[in-house]
Structure 1
Amino acid sequence: MFSFASYPYPKSESFKEIIVSSLGAGISVYLFLIIFQPFGTENFQHPYKFLLLFPYCIIFGIAFFIANLMTSRFSSWNMGAELLKIIFILFVGSILSYFYNSLFLSHVELDLGNYFYMFLYSLAVGIPVSIIYILSRYIYLKNIHENTARNISQHLPDSVPELQQNLLKIAAQNTELIISENDFLCVQSMENYCTFYFLENNLLKKMLVRISLSGALQQIGNGAVKKCHRSYIVNLTKVKNLKGNAQGYKLILPEIDFEIPVSRSFIPSIIPQLQQQNS
């Protein structure tokens, strides 16, 4: 159970994705209500019945939007956090739904016991909708990223033409590191330190330098050397393979024994450049 909760899950990062997913969640709730008409809804007779049910779409869409907007600021996300977010959405949605139902539909006095029933109704509607959303979004992103990674990997060249002997110079405190761009591989950040990976006489070398990743990027960032994650800078010309999953992509450089993740926020700048290298 705990391993399932700790499994990485892709959170919504762009404002456009938050808007679209919030609209989808609200519409899904509305469709569930008008198709299945649960909890006595089929006995509710009114000429504008479906119109009166529509505010539930707005309520849960707003709750979903607020929750996604709040969680978009987190640097990492997993299945357990996603489930907690869903519970928060259902809780907020149940409160708003209770006030709407009590004040505008049933016209009953506000009562904690009545709210408890509304919370149970919200769970009954929200849980199946949430399960469908989580699974469908995970499968969709996984398929998209896997197919894109497969297509790019098939066309990545085994070797690239030698670049001009551009030198990357890194100066930090009493340390000065000069690396040929042809030999530079990547940078891995650990708090206030960065480990630089590069080749020297075709042998892998690494050096630990006291510098921030943003400071390193200012000194060596160019068209091919880019930040791809909050902890990594990579030389895209050295990428020889690409893996995709629901969280995003991972870059594979044969010279190093670990995979470099690509954050979803960096996908629009990293993936198109890898595709250009194929052409």
Structure 2
Amino acid sequence: MTFYINREHLVKDIDYPTRYQPENLFKSALIVFFIILGFLLLFKPFGVYDPELKMHYLFICFFHALGPALVLYLYFGILNYYRKTKNQSKWTLLNEYIQIGALLVLIGTTSFLMRDLLYTNPNNWSWNYFFEEIRNCFVAGIFFYFLIRLASFYFESKKGSPFVLQFIPLTVKPETASLQPQLFINTQVKQDDFSLDIDQLLFVKADGNYIELTTLKNNQIMTEVKRISLTQFEAQITAYPHFFRCHRTYLVNMFKVEKVSGNSQGYLLSFDETNSKVPVSRKQIDSFNTYYERLRNQYIA
């Protein structure tokens, strides 16, 4: 039997997990603390020799649960700071597995260093106990990691995220030979009228009676402000079916969207050319899904 690894899946860019982001990190550490504490109290998974204990078993479990929670909080806190200072946005499954492996080694090392605090054993500082702590940490850590991932996947699925997982970029442009890419837009004030290459347009953002056009010209992102409302602008591009009003203040070129993330509370649309993200409001999710499927069947199938 051949053992197959989908390497492309491992190195494909994904969103940085919300559980590691600064605003959720304390909550993630707290969840890890209570899961480990409950597991140790209920199952006593590793051999415990009572005469060696320096304190009640409840406190032993408390410290064994506190160590991983603190290491998790500090490790990803430092990683988040590093990613922010280096302006890093990329994240892959392979990167996550490497970080989790390093985290488990640190947790095992922390458990080893705590042995003198918890146990009266003359061999606390032996290599045997060091490797035992690392081994136990990997056995338990991998189990809990995949358990938490499965739970996370279940709850995200309940919110409606499976559609996001199935999103395929609409790379084939519509065959509309009769439609010219160069479009002349009329505004309320004649001197503010302007021309626009519709194929270069990524998305449009409303700002009161103005709009902000984000375009890709010569492989460079350009932003222009025009004096026209988003509703008036939308009315003049109805002949171009690949533009969708995904939000009260956003209009997006569906053929430029490369990735969709989120759940039934709202989507975020991402583009290859820019780190900017366009929201899909909760009310527009069903319409977005329907519109996407219609375009996909029309131009891809």
TM-score by length of 2: 0.55
2:32 matches 1:25: yes
Aligned counterpart, 1:134: 149
Equivalence map 1:1-279=2 (5 Å): 1=5, 2-6=7-11, 9-10=14-15, 11-12=17-18, 14-41=21-48, 43-44=49-50, 48-72=56-80, 73=83, 74-108=88-122, 109-144=124-159, 146=161, 165=187, 178-179=195-196, 185-186=201-202, 196=215, 208-209=217-218, 211=220, 213=221, 216-217=222-223, 219=225, 238-239=243-244, 256-261=254-259, 267=268, 270-272=279-281
Q: What whole-Å deviation, never above 9, does each CA across 1:8-61 have from its counterpart, x for those lacking one?
A: 5542364221111121122222222112101213x4376721122111221111
Tell me the secondary structure at the aligned position of residue 270 of structure 1.
Answer: strand
Bigger radius of gyration among the two: 2
Q: What whole-Å deviation, never above 9, does each CA across 1:119-154 have from its counterpart, x for those lacking one?
A: 1111121111011112222343344353898xxxxx
Tell me the secondary structure at the aligned position of residue 77 of structure 2.
Answer: helix
Distance 2:78 2:197 in 1: 43
Tell me, which stretches of 5 or more residues in structure 1 are unaligned? 150-162, 168-176, 188-194, 197-206, 225-236, 243-250
Structure 1 residues 15 and 223, CA, compared in 2 at 3 Å: closer, same or farther? Answer: farther
- The CA RMSD measured in Å over matched residues stands at 4.6
Distance 1:185 1:32 in 2: 54
Structure 1 residues 14 and 274, CA, compared in 2 at 3 Å: closer, same or farther? Answer: farther
Q: Is the 8 A contact 1:67 1:85 kept in 2?
A: no
Deviates more, 1:30-39 or 1:3-12: 3-12
Q: Is the 8 A contact 1:90 1:126 kept in 2?
A: yes
Structure 1 residues 59 and 9, CA, compared in 2 at 3 Å: closer, same or farther? Answer: farther
Tell me the secondary structure at the aligned position of residue 137 of structure 2.
Answer: helix
* Structure 1 position 241, deviation (Å): 6.7
Aligned counterpart, 2:170: none
Structure 1 residues 121 and 256, CA, compared in 2 at 3 Å: closer, same or farther? Answer: closer
- Count of matched residue positions in the alignment of Structure 1 and Structure 2: 215
Distance 2:34 2:134 in 1: 19
* Structure 1 position 239, deviation (Å): 2.7
The runs of at least 4 consecutive aligned structure 1 residues that moved more than 6 Å come to: none
Code of the aligned partner of 1:27: F
* Structure 1 position 166, deviation (Å): 7.6
Tell me the secondary structure at the aligned position of residue 45 of structure 2.
Answer: coil
Identity %: 13
Structure 1 residues 148 and 257, CA, compared in 2 at 3 Å: closer, same or farther? Answer: closer
Q: Is the 8 A contact 2:246 2:284 kept in 1?
A: no
Code of the aligned partner of 2:59: L
Tell me the secondary structure at the aligned position of residue 35 of structure 1.
Answer: helix
Question: Of the two structures, which has the highest relative contact order with CA contacts closer than 8 Å and spacing of 6 or more?
Answer: 1
Distance 2:278 2:202 in 1: 17
Tell me, which stretches of 5 or more residues in structure 2 are unaligned? 165-184, 204-213, 231-241, 269-276, 288-301
Structure 1 residues 184 and 55, CA, compared in 2 at 3 Å: closer, same or farther? Answer: same
Tell me the secondary structure at the aligned position of residue 202 of structure 2.
Answer: strand
Structure 1 residues 106 and 218, CA, compared in 2 at 3 Å: closer, same or farther? Answer: farther
* Structure 1 position 116, deviation (Å): 0.5
Q: What whole-Å deviation, never above 9, does each CA across 1:160-208 have from its counterpart, x for those lacking one?
A: xxx99389xxxxxxxxx85499x98416xxxxxxx83xxxxxxxxxx62
Distance 1:9 1:135 in 2: 17
